[in-house]
Amino acid sequence: MDAHRELLAKNDPDLYAALEGEEARQRSGVELIPSENYTYPEVLAALGSVFTNKYSEGYPGRRYYGGQEYTDVIENLARTRACEVFRAEHANVQPLSGSPMNQAAYLAFLDPGDTVLAMDLSHGGHLTHGAPVSHMGRIFNFIRYKTDPANEGKIDFGEVRKLALENKPKIVLCGYTSYPRDYDYDEFKKIADEVGALTMADVSHIGGLIAGNAMANPMDYGFDLMTTTTHKSLRGPRGGMILCKKEHAQKIDKSVFPGLQGGPHMNTVAAVAYTLKEAATDQFKAYAQQVLTNAKTLAATLMEEGGVLVTGGTDNHMMVLNTVESVGIDGKQAEKILDKVAITTNKQIIPDDPNPPLRPSGIRIGTPAATARGMKEQDMAKLGAWIMDTLRNREDESLLEKRKREVEEFCEGFPVPGI
């Protein structure tokens, strides 16, 4: 045990026991929540470093407090690497996580009451994309476009254009947390240009897949802004970043600090810098590609086994299983049953869900974390079959016990990075 852990174990045994419990849980079960991942040991080291002691309001070379010779080094490394990996002209790496990242992006350009065109929450958008329960939904006027279930869940760009022409948004936003397809960024850009709006893509879920060149990059399509969290497919610490064109750099930086946040978490900034070094490697490119291959295999297996997937498949790292149609139970029940056999997923609303958010009609399943453990296509096929069999035979307690043992044994073959 290293010295820091030893101290924690000695001085706070209750807390330490919970830490060990979480490590064991992460090791012995399969993590299929699409927004979660296993980060690198180097990231854990940076997060637990003395950079957490430092206040660094401002930006490299322009800070409010002294003693910034090393914080400037790490923030410059993170910014430069972010621009290289995402082919962006400017990067702000200070957002504390996904919600403040999007809030800072809106507040850089919008006044209260201004209009944003964004994706409906139940069709895949995020709370910060204007859901009525979010503060953003109260401050700005969000108009929502939807996907078309009759056309494999694709975006109906005729409808997006009509809404844009009618409502004259200042920002056209695309991005998602539960949409299993890719976007046509060209179409969004054309519509935004026609109405004089800025283009913004929240690629939080697929940031790692874009960095690894496995999915299209909105910056290559001339988007003004791109936001991404750093802890999902990118495999870094919990945080967010905003990439933008140079012409927007000043507005974005002022909006993050002093507009919205105080001191950045410099231990996280250090960890982001390391994450981006990893993201530039060929090994990471292979990882990103494998995440997609695994998702395709898992989706195909679920469907072969009778599962009904929203949009009928996936183009990215995730899929949404309609559990009501597949096995006659809601997503909350399905999540709980899979928890019993150490397969972690999350309940998920489906487009225009007739059920309430806490008892929605589906679960969301994704491959970034399993892929980080080294799982491949044959493992996805096994997991897909187990998921459907477990959900179908949910009343059979002895099967559930046997399945849990099978899953735990299976997991022993795949060490968790960082633990």
Residues that are catalytic:
55, 57, 202, 229, 232, 238
Q: Does the footprint of ligand DSN cover residue 98 (CB under 6 A)?
A: yes
Give Cβ neighbours of residue 79 (< 8 Å, ≥ 6 apart): 60, 90, 91, 92, 93
HSE on the CB side for 54, CA within 13 Å? 25
Among 39, 56, 71, 177, binds ligand DSN (CB under 6 A): 177
Size of the site for ligand DSN (CB under 6 A): 4
Q: Which residues pair with 143 in a beta bridge?
A: 117
Q: Contact letters (x/-) for ligand DSN, 101-140, by CB under 6 A?
A: -------------------------x--------------
CA of residue 370 relative to chain centroid, distance? 15
- Closer to ligand DSN at the Cβ: 56 or 177? 177
- Element counts in the chain: helices (H) and strands (E): 17, 16
| E strands, 271-388, in order | 318-322, 343-344, 346-348, 362-366
- The rounded distance, in Å, linking the Cα atoms of 206 and 189 is 19
Residue closest to ligand DSN when measured from CB atoms: 35
- The rounded distance, in Å, linking the Cα atoms of 215 and 211 is 8
- The rounded distance, in Å, linking the Cα atoms of 176 and 222 is 19
Residue with tokens 């990471």: 284
- The rounded distance, in Å, linking the Cα atoms of 347 and 369 is 18
Q: Phi/psi at 315 (nearest 5 deg)? A: -115, -5
Output the smallest distance, CB 167 to ligand DSN, in A: 25
Map residue 142 onto helix, strand or coil.
Answer: strand
Q: Does the footprint of ligand DSN cover residue 290 (CB under 6 A)?
A: no
Output the smallest distance, CB 99 to ligand DSN, in A: 7
- Closer to ligand DSN at the Cβ: 115 or 346? 346
Output the smallest distance, CB 196 to ligand DSN, in A: 30
Q: Which residues pair with 90 in a beta bridge?
A: 244
Output the smallest distance, CB 292 to ligand DSN, in A: 18
Q: Does the footprint of ligand DSN cover residue 26 (CB under 6 A)?
A: no
Output the smallest distance, CB 205 to ligand DSN, in A: 6
Map residue 309 onto helix, strand or coil.
Answer: strand
**Among 300, 292, 303, 299, CA closest to 371:** 292
CB atoms within 10 A of CB 10: 9
- Closer to ligand DSN at the Cβ: 245 or 347? 347
Output the smallest distance, CB 177 to ligand DSN, in A: 4
148 with 88: CB under 8 angstroms?
Answer: no
**Among 184, 253, 186, 246, CA closest to 222:** 186
Among 26, 35, 294, 371, binds ligand DSN (CB under 6 A): 35
Q: Residues in the site for ligand DSN, rule: CB under 6 A?
A: 35, 98, 126, 177
